[in-house]
Amino acid sequence: MSKSIANTTPYPFTFASNVPIITSNDATKTISVPITNCRGRIPSFKTSQLRSMVLEAHNDPSKIVAHVCSYDALSSKLCEEAGFPVVFLSGFAMSSALGLPDTGEAYARWQAAVDARNEGLDIWIMARTDSLIHGYEEALARARKAIELGVDCVFVEALPDRASMLRLRRELEFPVFANIIEGGKTENLSAKDLAEMGYSVVAYPFTLVAARLKSIREALEAIKDSFMVGSPPTVLSYEEVCEGVGFNRYYEMEEKYQYDESTTGSHGHQWD
């Protein structure tokens, strides 16, 4: 994606929840910063901010924490660059494989996560269940059990349509997560529609995976076409690639902290 079109579409949902920015010099000081919606023994600014955003969306039908799912460090960085307030590293996007845990295992894992949060650093916990294949009531029971255990948000996978999604939301007065897969089993509703239905968070786990597949296939065909007729296609300029993956920032740090003050400005590449 060209840098010239990065983050040109504004993120449509605004949240009041902000983490205070603290600046300091080398001097030692004592600071006092209020942290709202903290659950763990050890507070975390970022966790509290996320929890506050989700609760804000839960209480305001005009808002929802909408985000795509990343699959590695670079795609996560690009999500941040695009202005998304949350980066969700998806297990499916990373491995292209999903597992359905046993009921007991799921409960035990949720409880272990809650205990770890309560006894240590605060983390935001979402409980997911794929148990809709056993019927709606079973999925509802597991979601309620997760809430009882102390999670922050629940996610029932593969609710098929608006009616079932509304039903779940009405039966759970609690932050609920939606998962929209283009062409998947769940009705492809807009983030605005989901917010109005009372959903607090929505993820799009296939978007970047599909974009990666499409763009790589197109690039592979384009470079094969070029083998006998000329130069390889320029998908992005060298400068755009360096900026996108963070080389420019690395070079700035290298110049700032180099041991030898003399420099040629070259980083040992053929293009320097």
Give the model's confidence band at 21: pLDDT under 50 very low, under 70 low, under 90 confident, else very high.
Answer: low
32-205 domain in CATH 3.20.20.60?
A: yes
The tens digit of pLDDT for each residue in 162-197 reads 999 999 999 999 999 999 998 888 899 999 999 999
pLDDT of residue 245: 82
> Could you tell me how far CA 240 lies from the centroid of its own chain?
24
Question: pLDDT exceeding 70 applies to what percent of the chain?
Answer: 84
The tens digit of pLDDT for each residue in 63-118 reads 999 999 988 888 888 999 899 999 898 876 665 433 344 445 788 899 999 999 99
* Long-range own/partner contacts, residues 140-147 (CB < 8 A, 24 or more apart): 140/168, 140/171, 140/172, 142/103, 142/106, 143/168, 143/172, 144/172, 145/107, 145/110, 146/110, 147/172, 147/174
The tens digit of pLDDT for each residue in 113-123 reads 999 999 999 99
pLDDT of residue 190: 96
Which of 13, 12, 14, 32 has the alpha carbon at shortest distance from 22? Answer: 32
The tens digit of pLDDT for each residue in 35-62 reads 889 998 999 989 999 999 999 999 999 9
Domains of the chain, residue spans: 32-205, 210-252
The tens digit of pLDDT for each residue in 201-217 reads 999 999 998 998 899 89
